[in-house]
């Protein structure tokens, strides 16, 4: 890298460090927390064409205006959810750098193993600006937690889009935004259209059916659950259930006591795929013996072989379908869900999934 650019990067990095230090930022909510950071508006228009032929003016999910001379052909994605979206839009070849620890993502190993060898340039807490600049990307995609880096990159002449897919609606907005930025609007329309089709289908299948009470436990402990403001509440309601913890306040995992769970009396308990415990652990806990879900053996763990479908990722719709098959097996048999999930990965990620990964 030229000396001039190196000096400029050093100065910008120092300025960014000072800015972040003065801001006193707290930890950003994890994907699926149900709330975007306070600095991110709830909804923004995706884009409008600029004056020059082929150029774009985009509004990202932090409300920033971003100019692109043309749809991006090379991309750095600093966020696994945006990388997943780029893959689903058929633009995996455009990725020249991505988030660190890509080798821990099962989806990359199955859909695009070449990504594992690409440079890792950041985490949810920080980004290596100099490493990004060395890749000379047409576009950088950042999570909301790294919004401050967007302006730093802009000063280097590198456009950056901030995304915040913290709900289904925000996920759809992000996909549409990236579709425009990457020249993949048809692919984005196909993906969001699939969501609409499946949501309408599930609503029709479960119309008039009894709605079981569902307790969505957290990854860390089954004495922690999802209140109404979280994405998991959307999953439960979409699948034709009622969130047992809907009356709890907050927009993140909320600790509860055994007495609280007994009072909620959930008919179904869902253990997320990334949990540090198993459904068997819940069933074996004597203090939960009086909970209807435990009494009737209706404690289920989401499939753990692929992705965490209880979060707003491009394949998050499969979480809705899976839970519908659990709550309403007569209307939507599990075997039908397995076929639908396999079709999703073939259609949007281009690989034949091992169906055992869906069922375990």
Q: Give the span between the Cα atoms of 46 and 23, in whole angstroms.
A: 28
Return phi, psi of residue 257, to 5°. Answer: -105, 170
> Residue 134 is encoded by which pair of tokens?
């060395």
Q: Which pairing describes strands 160-163 and 139-143: parallel, antiparallel, or unpaired? A: parallel
Position 54 scores a pLDDT of 76
What is the pLDDT, as a whole number, of residue 44? 46
Which residue ranges of the chain lie beneath pLDDT 70? 1-53, 360
3-state secondary structure the chain: CCHHHHHHHHHHHHHHHHHHHHHCCCCCCCCCCCCCCCCCCCCCCCEEECCCCCCEEEECCCCCEEEECCCCCCEEECCHHHHHHHHHCCCHHHEEEECCCHHHCHHHHHHCHHHHHCCECECCCCECHHHHHHHCCCEEEEEHHHHHHHHHHHHCCCCEEEECCCCHHHHHHHHHHHHHHCCCHHHHHHHHHHHHHHHHHHHHHHCCCCCCEEEEECCCCCCEECCCCCHHHHHHHHCCCEECCCCCCCCCCEECCHHHHHHHCCCEEEECCCCCCCHHHHHHCHHHCCCHHHHCCCEEECCCCCCCCCCCCCCCHHHHHHHHHHHCCCCCCHHHHHHHHHHHHHHHHCCCCCCHHHHC
pLDDT digit string, tens, across residues 81-101:
999 999 999 999 999 999 999
Contact between 325 and 333 under an 8 Å Cβ cutoff? The reply is yes
pLDDT of residue 305: 81
How confident is the model at residue 52, as a pLDDT? Answer: 53
Instruction: State the pLDDT at residue 8.
Output: 46
The answer for residues whose C-beta is within 8 angstroms of residue 351's C-beta and 6 or more apart is 110, 111, 345
Q: How far apart are CA 178 and CA 218, in angstroms?
A: 30
Query: Which of 60, 22, 65, 31 has the alpha carbon at shortest distance from 44?
Result: 60
Instruction: Give pLDDT, residue 115.
Output: 96
pLDDT value for 49: 46
pTM (global) more than 0.75: yes
**Residues sharing a CB contact under 8 Å with residue 129, sequence separation 6 or more, in sequence order:** 9, 12, 13, 16, 149, 152, 153, 156
pLDDT, residue 53, reads 57
Angle, alpha carbons 237-187-50 (nearest 5°): 110
Q: What is the pLDDT of residue 19?
A: 42
Per-residue pLDDT, 227: 97
Residues 84 and 176: their CA atoms lie apart, in Å, by: 14
């Amino acid at each position: 890298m030229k000396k001039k650019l190196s000096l400029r990067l050093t100065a910008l990095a120092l300025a960014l460090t000072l800015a972040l230090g003065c801001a006193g930022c707290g930890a950003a909510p994890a994907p699926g927390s149900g709330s975007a950071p306070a600095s991110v508006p709830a909804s923004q228009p995706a884009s409008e064409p600029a004056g020059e032929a082929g150029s774009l003016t985009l509004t990202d999910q932090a409300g920033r205006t971003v100019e692109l001379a043309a749809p991006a052909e090379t991309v750095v994605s600093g966020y696994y959810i945006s990388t997943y979206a780029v893959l689903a839009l058929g633009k995996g070849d455009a990725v020249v750098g991505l988030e660190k620890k890509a080798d821990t993502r099962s989806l990359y190993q199955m859909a695009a193993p070449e990504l594992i060898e690409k440079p890792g340039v950041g985490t949810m807490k920080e980004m290596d600006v100099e490493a990004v600049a060395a890749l000379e990307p047409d576009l950088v995609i950042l999570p909301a937690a790294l919004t401050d880096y967007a302006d730093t990159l802009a000063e280097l002449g590198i456009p950056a889009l901030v995304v915040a897919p913290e709900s289904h609606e925000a996920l759809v907005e992000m996909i549409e935004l990236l579709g425009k930025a990457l020249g993949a609007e048809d692919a984005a329309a196909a993906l969001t259209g699939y969501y609409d089709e499946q949501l309408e289908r599930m609503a029709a299948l479960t119309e008039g059916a009894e709605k079981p009470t569902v307790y969505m436990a957290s990854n860390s402990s089954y004495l922690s659950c999802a209140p109404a403001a979280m994405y998991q509440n959307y999953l439960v309601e979409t699948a034709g259930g009622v969130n047992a913890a809907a009356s709890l306040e907050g927009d993140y995992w909320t600790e509860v006591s055994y007495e609280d769970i007994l009072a909620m009396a959930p008919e179904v308990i869902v253990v997320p795929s990334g949990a540090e415990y198993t459904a068997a652990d819940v069933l074996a806990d004597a203090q939960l013996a009086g909970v209807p879900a435990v009494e009737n053996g209706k404690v289920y763990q989401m499939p753990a072989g692929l992705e965490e479908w209880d979060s707003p990722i491009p394949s998050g719709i499969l979480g809705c379908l899976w839970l519908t098959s659990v709550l309403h097996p007569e209307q939507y048999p599990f075997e039908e869900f397995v076929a639908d999930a396999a079709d999703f990965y073939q259609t949007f990620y281009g690989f034949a999934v091992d169906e055992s990964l869906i069922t375990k």
